[in-house]
Amino acid sequence: MTTNLNWWKGGIIYQIYPRSFMDANGDGVGDLVGITSKLDYVASLGVDAIWLSPIFTSPMKDFGYDVSDYCDIDPMFGSLGDFKKLVNRAHDLNLKVMIDQVISHSSDVHPWFEESRQDKTNPKADWYVWADPKPDGSPPNNWLSIFGGSAWKWDSRRLQYYLHNFLESQPDMNFHHPEVRKAHLDNMRFWLELGVDGFRLDTVNFYFHSEGLEDNPPVPPGEPKTKGAPEDNPYTYQRHVYDLSRPENLAFLKELRALMDEFPGSTTVGEIGDDFPLNRMAEYTSGGDKLHMAYTFDLLNKPHSPAYIRDVLKNMQDIVGDGWPCWAVSNHDVVRARTRWGADEDGEAYPLITTALIASIRGSVCLYQGEELGLPEAEVPYERIQDPYGFPLWPVFKGRDGCRTPMVWENKAQGGFSTIEPWLPVDKDHLPLSVAEQEANADSLLHKMRQFIKWRQQQPALVNGELTQIDVANGELIAFVRDYQEESLLVVLNMTSEEQVATLSSGDVELLEGHGFQCQLSGQTLTLPAYQACYARLR
């Protein structure tokens, strides 16, 4: 294993959605043995780590994001023994292993909640967020669930409401209670001692709520809505002042960082869905005493014009300071980038330039499974929908199943993922993009992705450098300089379908090769073909 304890800083993390990566036992659902069998492929991409979406014991009403046992593997995925073998194999391949931690809420069948809901005097009575109804019997306030409707569910045993920011079957835990915080830190210690290298922290800004239970105000006219939910979701109509991102969270994140510091080389990346996400990232990742890094939905939403991306980078520079972002353009919660951003673009060229974007700006990278193949969003018919988020807002919002369909390993039935019909259908349009098809084509996107990623990993300025945006007199281009130690590296990206010309302020540059992109430089005039990038050393 590498001895670089800061491997995460500028590292590339490959996200695996376990249900859909590889089915080794033929039940139509991916599993840990299947993941282990494909780790050589993951390592061949040149990435630093894998992140596994939840694998814990769960009733699977939200596909593992409703945990009923934080210290065991769901039998659907295998056993603790299978997990240990996965970690050992990953480490043999010099891959770090990160796992999800879903601690803002549990499943309603978790023993903690089953005890808590019995009455108001049991030992875990205050482990969850309970509140009395208003005099007319209605919920305590106007807080909304991201999954639709009120965030409060009536419980006839306690004659109280409990808070659920997501499904009714996902009650929110009360982080104001010290025993709750300790229990979760103990759970994380369990996995660190098993050998995991870090955690992705689900909804990391949702841990605390305002104990005053004040109503959230509406979003003022003309102000931006939260990026944590689709715009047609009424959740976005509120300014989320009291139900999340509370100041008490900072103290808990420091407790968590103290635990992580006991395991040198371990790391955390937090998911932030907030009205002002970069401000929260700055709070949570600055100072070296809280999260190591965090990601927001700034590049996981629909806006993607060059001007928008330049604004995101400017805001990141102005707001985040010494904090550290982790960038992604796709994950298990959003429409795949090739469809969300690139519906009208070249299906092979566009995924590569979007990867170049997130791998060249300051921060770490999350690469979602299948992005290296250029997979578009899959079509999942209504009768095959699994995601509970997909029903209440259909058909404008179809849920998250389209980005969660099985990985395509071969151009054959079920994509080589399983021997039977899988839990979600394999999109027939994915089959020609399978790993086997692209391995056999020397000019495929997969080979280009491998080439670029491995080249990028050898560029210290792209991994660690500071970022300064520059003006190249062309509003269609994204241009910046990454400075690290004695090196200054110029990056110019053309994410459009048209050739673009830029004017450099200095002609004293050395074009770099080996990354797979094309550009031409004549004096101070840079010409970038469609979907191409320029990497040059400033002298």
Active site residues: 202, 262
CA distance 336 to 401: 11
Helix (H) or strand (E) holding 70: strand 69-73
User: Bridge partners of 213?
Assistant: none
Alpha helix positions (H), 209-332: 249-261, 277-285, 306-315
Chain centre distance of CA 405:
17
At 194, which amino acid appears?
Answer: L
Q: Alpha-carbon Rg of the chain, whole angstroms?
A: 23
CA distance 466 to 480: 10
Q: Which of 458, 352, 325, 353 is nearest to 8 (CA)?
A: 325
Alpha helix positions (H), 318-442: 337-340, 349-360, 435-439
Number of Cα atoms under 13 Å in the Cβ half of residue 60:
11
Phi-psi region of 226 (alpha: psi -120 to 50; beta: other; left: phi over 0): beta
What's 38's DSSP letter?
A: T
Both tokens of 180, joined, read 């709750």
Angle at the Cα of 401 from the Cα atoms of 27 and 413, rounded to 5 degrees: 45
Both tokens of 99, joined, read 């796992």
For residue 71, what are the contacts with CB-CB under 8 A and spacing of at least 6? 56, 187, 190, 191
What's 432's DSSP letter?
A: G
What's 90's DSSP letter?
A: H
Both tokens of 511, joined, read 């074009």
Both tokens of 222, joined, read 């003309």
CA distance 353 to 343: 14
CA distance 451 to 136: 64
Judge contact between 528 and 499, C-beta under 8 A.
yes
Q: Which long-range contacts (CB under 8 A, 24 or more apart) does 309-314 make?
A: 309/357, 309/478, 309/495, 310/469, 310/478, 313/361, 313/467, 313/469, 313/478, 313/480, 314/469
CA distance 202 to 304: 24
CA distance 231 to 353: 27
Judge contact between 286 and 263, C-beta under 8 A.
no
